[in-house]
A = this chain, B = another copy of it.
Amino acid sequence: MVLTLVIGNKNYSSWSLRAGLFLQESGLAFEEVRLPLFTEQWFQTIGQYTPAGRVPVLLDGDLAIWDSTAIMGHLQERHPEAVGWPSDSRARAYTRSIAAEMHSGFLALREELPQNIRARHNRDRRDFSSSAQKDIERIETIWQTGYQQYGGPWLGGEFSVADVMYAPVAMRFVTYGIQLAPAAQQFVSAIQALPSIQQWAKDSEAESEVLSFIDNLNAAGTGDDAAAV
């Protein structure tokens, strides 16, 4: 049975990245349907795949599953080789908790530091709202704690769903030039070293669509490149 993943722009859609990374790191073959966000193609087509009107969507035979966590849960149930949770019970509880924390939270970070993989800015975390700063601090702590308690190379020791969930956040910190404590920077480097992420970044650069409300938002900070956009 062929799996098909419907995604948005690789450059801008962080939930698409999570689902794509999960499939690739699980070693599952899939076909990709890319619907660039907010284009005529998007508005005419997305409703054929999902009533929620959002990406990603997984098509598995006659089933459609939307939302990244639902996609991961569905695939874990059907494919024992899919990315799961660490076997150590403490690491398992920790990664499960922080993965869910990402899925339901960090709203200020998601709004103020939207995914824009091919862009590079030089921001200080104090350029952002106090809510976004709190999000950045909490994520930094989550990553540091993971490395300190489970010894790496991933947040729970073994590669798990938590690493998939935080991968786009690592890429955001690269985009905006956010300086991190060393143990947190270790996670960013580990994510950047994944071949599947390097390919995703290359594909992002090759995309021609520009969402100006995201690229202009990047320019709204007080950092040194505000005048350059």
Contact = CB atoms under 8 A, between A and B. Distances in A.
Contact of A96 (B73, B138, B142): B73
A103 B104 contact: yes
A52 B96 contact: no
**What's the number of copies of this chain in the assembled complex?**
2
A104 B69 CA distance: 9
B52 A97 contact: yes
B107 A145 contact: no
A106 to B, nearest CB: 11
Given A63-B90, A89-B63, A69 B100 contact: yes
Interface residues of A, number: 30
A103 B73 CA distance: 14
A63 to B, nearest CB: 4
A150 B49 CA distance: 19
Interface in A144-174: 145
A73 to B, nearest CB: 6
Interface of A: 50-52, 60, 62-70, 73-74, 89-90, 93, 96-97, 99-101, 103-104, 107, 138, 141-142, 145
5 contacts: A66-B101, A69-B69, A70-B97, A70-B100, A104-B104
